[in-house]
């Protein structure tokens, strides 16, 4: 056995020996030195990997006593699985770090290399040692190595930061020394195991007072070393001031070392004192993430982020000790932070200290770095498939099983705040023209990419191993994931090739799904069909857009796979993985729009909040041992209400219900034009799917107060109604045709929400029918508009007009679309609304029915404007030569036309699956529905739909309308004399100076009278509210970060102040 011949003490001897030999090795040439440096780290990594592999497969932890001496003379070291994994993270990331620093002359000399090796050794020592005094020694080794490395930097700021950091670090280590001395005095041991044993034998009062003092000393000391609030000032300065290569090394080695050493020391203290530690850590997590939102300097922002992430880990440590949280997810979080933060710091090494604004366009044309930054940001914000997501997921489910609701809330709040600044950076770095910031050497591009690759592969591997349910993906999902990832990686692939490939993949998936027998009569089947139909037409339409390259099509496939993942699973984890995957792929797609960066950021904040609310609801389930939607039926009382409220709230935010709608119109408008069709047609329906599931399994949301029961689904239905009205009114005032349709989309979802929320078979019929039909007509309208924008290059309606002459097919399709939307016979819009009114009247919700009718009138107004302004009236001179929309657009529109036609003439195509769905979900819930349906099944007469209030026959209606149309058209044809064509410029101004062209256009400010009435109450109210909210958050962040005055002595005062405060708390306990 090789392992028996090699002692883990080699891990210390090898790098230290090499470090001392470096001056000699360097005589052979600098590149030899570099090679030796890399080799040493690689050898350490290999050895540690070998041992860890064996340890994970049942070998007993390796115990080492230096020189064969028993403690306290010799030093005891232990290499177990945990220590091995931590060492692997540190060595792996340090290896990449060595690659990064290779190209930096000031960090490429032998002094720097020796110091880097010392840092790795120090971290290893902190992981492995079982001896308290040894911890002090290794803290000093890592500390001194860091201070010295900082001093080697060229920048002035590095000196300032290094000195302040050193003052704080030295004060911290003296506290640690005093604490260790006191512990030794009271236990007679320095070895942690022996000390624990001694303390376990009853603790007399005198000892507990001393122990309290020690606790204070140790906690304050580690708070400073780990950069916890409020003693993280110098740490933040370090991130800003020193070379990011050095701070990355600090993150991967010493910070992890301190963390694990602190974990070991915690074992000495009573478990209940852990709460103090957790509170301090969690305050840091939330506070630092809050303050990071005010940072303009990226490196300092990353410093705040490190503080925050480490704060979270510190908060979790006592919970691991107490057995409330598993060690493995914490290790995943550590790995995630190690690799993601190092990658981010190395990326931030681009150029000299850029502020956020200066980051504009830096990665625009730099494929590798762009991908790396995206991956690292997704990883650090805890999104799937990166390890951080699975770590957080398991931590949260563990916490929910131990009643840690407040901790969960704090973690989710902090994580949301994290979204704010990371996605801001991401959007700055990606947007705009390429900037002239010089490119870094290749080694500095490779290092972060390696970290990102580790995150991706490790995250995927770990997740499949830890959560086998994720491996049961259906073939279509797996194919889409694989193809999507591949296309994303070749992001610059030309639009022709990549759009063709994407379409082939989508068609293949459709083929496989249909071939396997798609069961439409289930909720999953219906939504799968919806997603695939929407996906196919969008993929067809995308053939005609030359600006969308591999990255777009790859993300689109990933998005489609995530939608299928969500709708095909009722298991909470798979659902949420799909949901979050959908969130970030959608974000990146929106950001691809020309002005999409900011709307995408706002989208991400709201979607993040929605996701976390949803997660909160799922966690209520986990607290009661439920891990699926169907299992939630077991919840009762307040748990049921809590789960219901959180889930529904998350869904409503994601849908963009009135109040939370501010993200939606801009995100829809600024997305790439083809993508908007998918966003509106399919993505917006996914939360509807979730709403159906939640209402089906958790009921009406009964809130009982003082003997009176209020069913919250009334509120949801009303919110749906108000959304329909409010968004329709807002759609009136838009000059931008796409924004008009965007508001209209959100408004139409209001009908769907109201229908589903009625929670009756008829209501579901109305809601789900409208959801399917909406895909048909809205995607159609959006694609028509995409074609128009493609040809005219504008979205402003007053810059268009008369396009019927040049784009007659588009006009015809748009006309069908608006008839369908307007809800007049003979098309499906009428069926949907008729069903909805029936359902509302059936429940006796008459006011809501009236509201819905009113808002459907408003839709006429904006639809009229849409078709009139774009297609009718006079053709602009500059549009005289434009052509009909490209063929792929027309093909996709015709396909959608088919869908609209089908569901209009044959509503049963949707209603009979809905019938089956309603039957299976609502059948047994005592909602006055016993399986006998009032609509189609059984009571359908021929093609007629019958409810208790009347009947509607779409086929007859269609025939009648067609007949009337033909007759009246014929009559007009024969009776009206031929019109004389007049050139559009047959007019002249009578010597007046014409006002600006848009003001004389009749379409400008078309609905001014309505705006005078409704505008004041409607326009910008919600935006104003959310902006105020954002300003308030930023103001809090701004005020709080004022405590980091930059004065080294102030920081020391905080340090002593924290000591006094914790001491006082400890004495009070």
- Which residues contact another protein (rule: CB under 8 A)? 69-70, 72-73, 133, 136-137, 140, 143-144, 147-148, 151, 156-157, 159-164, 166-167, 170-171, 174, 177-178, 181, 184-185, 188, 190, 236-237, 240-241, 294, 300, 1041-1042, 1044-1049, 1052-1053, 1056
Pairing of the two strands 950-952 and 945-947: antiparallel
Q: Report d(CA 26, CA 31) in Å as an integer.
A: 8
What Å distances lie between residue 231 and 361, 660, 1045, CA to CA? 35, 37, 12
Q: Which 8-state DSSP code applies to residue 629?
A: T
Nearest approach, Cβ of 1 to another protein (angstroms)?
A: 30
Nearest approach, Cβ of 157 to another protein (angstroms)?
A: 6
User: Omega into 385 within 30° of 0, i.e. cis?
Assistant: yes
Contact 811, 889 (CB under 8 A): no
Nearest approach, Cβ of 444 to another protein (angstroms)?
A: 23
> Per DSSP, which regions of 44-192 are E strands?
62-65, 76-79
> Going by C-beta distance under 8 Å and a sequence separation of 6 or more, which residues neighbour residue 401?
622, 623, 625
Nearest approach, Cβ of 569 to another protein (angstroms)?
A: 45
Closest Cα to residue 416, out of 224, 648, 607? 607
What size, in residues, is the chain?
1069
Nearest approach, Cβ of 642 to another protein (angstroms)?
A: 39
Closest Cα to residue 250, out of 275, 233, 226? 226
Q: Which 8-state DSSP code applies to residue 542?
A: G
If the CB atoms of residues 140 and 953 are measured against another protein, the closer one turns out to be 140
If the CB atoms of residues 136 and 629 are measured against another protein, the closer one turns out to be 136
If the CB atoms of residues 300 and 553 are measured against another protein, the closer one turns out to be 300
Q: Report d(CA 227, CA 236) in Å as an integer.
A: 8
Contact 1002, 873 (CB under 8 A): yes
Nearest approach, Cβ of 10 to another protein (angstroms)?
A: 23
If the CB atoms of residues 188 and 997 are measured against another protein, the closer one turns out to be 188
Three-state secondary structure call for residue 709:
strand
Nearest approach, Cβ of 453 to another protein (angstroms)?
A: 33
Nearest approach, Cβ of 220 to another protein (angstroms)?
A: 13
Contact 37, 15 (CB under 8 A): no
Closest Cα to residue 622, out of 613, 635, 611? 635
Q: Report d(CA 1067, CA 343) in Å as an integer.
A: 43
If the CB atoms of residues 189 and 341 are measured against another protein, the closer one turns out to be 189
If the CB atoms of residues 301 and 940 are measured against another protein, the closer one turns out to be 301
If the CB atoms of residues 518 and 1033 are measured against another protein, the closer one turns out to be 1033
Nearest approach, Cβ of 1056 to another protein (angstroms)?
A: 7
Q: What angle do CA 240, 337, 253 make, to 5 degrees?
A: 70
Nearest approach, Cβ of 694 to another protein (angstroms)?
A: 43
Nearest approach, Cβ of 182 to another protein (angstroms)?
A: 8
Q: Report d(CA 792, CA 884) in Å as an integer.
A: 11
Q: Given phi > 0 = left and psi -120 to 50 = alpha, else beta, which region is 656?
A: left
If the CB atoms of residues 220 and 557 are measured against another protein, the closer one turns out to be 220
b/e burial code for range 1023-1059 (CB count within 10 A of at least 16 → b):
eeebeeeeeeeeeebeebbeebeeebeebbebbeebb
If the CB atoms of residues 69 and 965 are measured against another protein, the closer one turns out to be 69
Q: Report d(CA 156, CA 509) in Å as an integer.
A: 58
The count of other CB atoms within 10 Å of the CB of residue 166 is: 20
Nearest approach, Cβ of 281 to another protein (angstroms)?
A: 22
Q: DSSP H helical segments within 844-943, as ranges? A: 846-871, 887-905, 908-922
How distant is the alpha carbon of residue 550 from its chain centre? 22
Q: CA-CA-CA-CA torsion for 455, 461, 464, 470, nearest 10 degrees? A: 50
If the CB atoms of residues 55 and 161 are measured against another protein, the closer one turns out to be 161
Nearest approach, Cβ of 455 to another protein (angstroms)?
A: 30
If the CB atoms of residues 148 and 207 are measured against another protein, the closer one turns out to be 148
Pairing of the two strands 702-705 and 945-947: unpaired
Exposure of 28 by Cβ count < 10 A (0-12 exposed, 13-18 middle, 19+ buried)? exposed
Nearest approach, Cβ of 311 to another protein (angstroms)?
A: 18
Nearest approach, Cβ of 1054 to another protein (angstroms)?
A: 11
Nearest approach, Cβ of 522 to another protein (angstroms)?
A: 55
If the CB atoms of residues 136 and 678 are measured against another protein, the closer one turns out to be 136
Q: Report d(CA 721, CA 855) in Å as an integer.
A: 8
> Per DSSP, which regions of 511-581 are E strands?
none
Q: Given phi > 0 = left and psi -120 to 50 = alpha, else beta, which region is 508?
A: alpha
If the CB atoms of residues 156 and 986 are measured against another protein, the closer one turns out to be 156
If the CB atoms of residues 455 and 1062 are measured against another protein, the closer one turns out to be 1062
Nearest approach, Cβ of 147 to another protein (angstroms)?
A: 6
Q: What DSSP line would sit under 416-479, residue for residue?
A: HHHHHHHHHHHHHHHSSSPP-PPPPPHHHHHHHHHHHHHHHHHHHHHHHHH-GGGG---HHHHH
If the CB atoms of residues 156 and 881 are measured against another protein, the closer one turns out to be 156
Q: How many CA atoms lie within 13 A of 187 on its CB side?
A: 29
Q: Report d(CA 389, CA 392) in Å as an integer.
A: 5
If the CB atoms of residues 132 and 429 are measured against another protein, the closer one turns out to be 132
Q: Report d(CA 140, CA 254) in Å as an integer.
A: 10
Contact 138, 126 (CB under 8 A): yes
If the CB atoms of residues 189 and 791 are measured against another protein, the closer one turns out to be 189
Nearest approach, Cβ of 190 to another protein (angstroms)?
A: 7
If the CB atoms of residues 1018 and 1058 are measured against another protein, the closer one turns out to be 1058
């Amino acid at each position: 056995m090789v392992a028996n011949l090699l002692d883990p003490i080699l891990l210390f001897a090898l790098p230290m020996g090499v470090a001392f030999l470096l001056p000699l090795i360097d005589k052979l040439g600098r590149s030899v030195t570099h090679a030796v440096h890399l080799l040493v780290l690689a050898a350490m990594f290999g050895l540690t990997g070998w041992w860890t592999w064996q340890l994970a497969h049942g070998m007993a932890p390796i115990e080492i006593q230096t020189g064969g001496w028993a403690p306290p003379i010799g030093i005891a070291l232990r290499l177990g699985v945990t220590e091995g994994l931590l060492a692997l993270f540190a060595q792996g990331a340090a290896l990449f770090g060595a690659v990064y620093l290779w190209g930096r002359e000031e960090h490429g000399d032998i002094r720097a290399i020796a110091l880097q090796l010392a840092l790795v050794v120090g971290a290893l020592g902190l992981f492995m040692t079982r001896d308290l005094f040894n911890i002090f020694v290794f803290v000093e080794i890592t500390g001194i190595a860091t201070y010295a490395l900082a001093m080697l930097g060229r920048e002035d700021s590095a000196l300032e930061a290094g000195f302040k950091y050193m003052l704080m670090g030295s004060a911290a280590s003296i506290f640690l020394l005093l604490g260790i001395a006191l512990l030794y005095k009271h236990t007679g041991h320095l070895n942690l195991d022996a000390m624990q044993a001694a303390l376990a034998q009853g603790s007399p009062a005198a000892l507990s007072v001393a122990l309290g003092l020690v606790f204070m000393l140790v906690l304050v000391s580690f708070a400073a070393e780990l950069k916890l609030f409020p003693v993280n000032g110098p740490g933040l300065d370090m991130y800003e001031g020193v070379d990011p290569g050095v701070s990355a090394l600090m993150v991967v080695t010493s910070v992890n070392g301190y963390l694990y050493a602190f974990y070991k020391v915690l074992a000495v203290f009573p478990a209940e004192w852990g709460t103090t530690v957790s509170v301090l850590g969690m305050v840091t997590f939330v506070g630092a993430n809050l303050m990071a939102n005010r940072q303009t300097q990226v490196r300092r922002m990353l410093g705040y982020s490190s503080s925050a992430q480490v704060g979270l880990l510190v908060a979790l440590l006592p919970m691991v000790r107490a057995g409330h949280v598993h060690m493995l997810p914490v290790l995943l979080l550590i790995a995630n932070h190690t690799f993601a933060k190092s990658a981010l710091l190395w990326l931030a090494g681009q150029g000299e200290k850029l502020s956020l604004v200066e980051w504009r366009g830096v990665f625009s044309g730099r494929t590798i770095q762009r991908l790396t930054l995206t991956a690292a940001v997704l990883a650090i914000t805890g999104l799937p498939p990166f390890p951080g997501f699975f770590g957080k997921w398991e931590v949260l489910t563990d916490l929910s099983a131990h009643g840690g609701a407040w901790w969960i809330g704090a973690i989710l709040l902090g994580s949301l705040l994290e979204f704010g600044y990371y996605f801001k950076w991401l959007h700055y770095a990606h947007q705009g023209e390429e900037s002239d910031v010089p490119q870094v050497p290749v080694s500095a591009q490779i290092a972060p990419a390696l970290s990102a690759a580790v995150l991706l592969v490790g995250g995927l591997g770990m997740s499949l191993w830890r959560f086998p349910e994720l491996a049961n993906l259906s073939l279509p999902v797996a194919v889409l994931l694989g193809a999507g990832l591949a296309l994303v990686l070749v992001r610059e692939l030309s639009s022709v090739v990549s759009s063709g490939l994407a379409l082939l993949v989508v068609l293949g998936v459709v083929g496989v799904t249909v071939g396997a027998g798609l069961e439409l009569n289930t909720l999953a089947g219906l939504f799968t069909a919806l997603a695939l139909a929407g996906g196919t037409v969008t993929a067809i339409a995308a053939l005609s857009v030359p600006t969308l390259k591999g990255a777009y099509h790859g993300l689109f496939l990933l998005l489609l796979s995530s939608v299928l993942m969500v709708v095909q699973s009722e298991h909470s984890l798979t659902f949420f993985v799909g949901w979050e995957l959908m969130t970030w792929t959608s974000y990146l797609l929106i950001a691809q729009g020309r002005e999409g960066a900011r709307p995408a950021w706002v989208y991400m904040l709201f979607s993040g909040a929605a996701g976390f609310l949803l997660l909160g609801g799922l966690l209520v389930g986990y607290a009661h041992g439920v891990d699926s939607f169907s299992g939630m039926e077991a919840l009762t009382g307040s748990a049921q209400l809590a789960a219901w409220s959180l889930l529904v709230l998350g869904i409503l935010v994601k849908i963009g219900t009135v109040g939370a709608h501010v993200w939606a119109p801009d995100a829809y408008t600024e997305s790439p034009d083809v993508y908007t069709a998918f966003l509106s047609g399919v993505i917006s329906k996914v939360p509807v799917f979730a709403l159906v599931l939640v209402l089906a399994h958790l009921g009406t949301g009964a809130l009982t107060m003082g003997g009176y029961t209020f069913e919250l689904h009334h509120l949801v239905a009303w919110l749906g109604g108000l959304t329909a009205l409010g968004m329709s009114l807002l759609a009136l005032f838009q000059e931008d045709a796409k924004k008009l349709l965007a508001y209209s989309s959100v408004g139409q979802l209001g009908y769907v929400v109201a229908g589903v929320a009625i929670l009756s078979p008829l209501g579901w019929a109305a809601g789900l029918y409208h959801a399917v039909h909406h895909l048909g007509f809205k995607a159609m309208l959006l694609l028509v508009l995409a074609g128009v924008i493609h040809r005219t290059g504008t979205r402003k309606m007053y810059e268009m007009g008369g396009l019927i002459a040049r784009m007659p097919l588009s006009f015809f399709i748009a006309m069908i679309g608006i008839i369908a939307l307007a809800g007049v016979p003979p098309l499906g819009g009428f069926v949907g609304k008729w069903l909805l009114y029936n359902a509302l009247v059936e429940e006796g919700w008459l006011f809501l029915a009236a509201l819905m009718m009113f808002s459907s009138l408003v839709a006429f107004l904006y639809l009229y404007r849409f078709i009139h302004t774009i297609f009718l009236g006079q053709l602009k001179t500059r549009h005289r030569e434009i052509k009909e929309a490209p063929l792929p657009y027309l093909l996709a529109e015709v396909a959608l036309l088919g869908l609209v036609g089908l569901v209009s003439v044959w509503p049963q195509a949707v209603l009979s699956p809905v019938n089956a769905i309603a039957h299976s979900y609502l059948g047994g819930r005592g909602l006055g529905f016993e399986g006998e349906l009032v609509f189609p099944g059984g009571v359908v007469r021929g093609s007629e739909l019958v409810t208790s209030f009347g009947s509607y026959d779409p086929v007859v209606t269609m025939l009648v309308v067609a007949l009337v149309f033909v007759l009246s058209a014929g009559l007009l044809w024969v009776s009206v004399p031929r019109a004389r064509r007049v050139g559009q410029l047959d007019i002249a101004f009578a010597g007046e100076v014409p006002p600006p062209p848009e003001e004389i256009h009749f379409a400008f400010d078309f609905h001014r009278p309505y705006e005078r009435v409704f505008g004041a109450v409607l326009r910008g109210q919600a935006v104003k509210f959310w902006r105020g909210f954002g300003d308030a958050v930023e103001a809090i962040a701004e005020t709080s970060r004022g405590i980091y005055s930059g004065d080294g002595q102030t920081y020391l005062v905080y340090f002593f102040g924290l000591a006094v405060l914790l001491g006082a708390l400890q004495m009070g306990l």
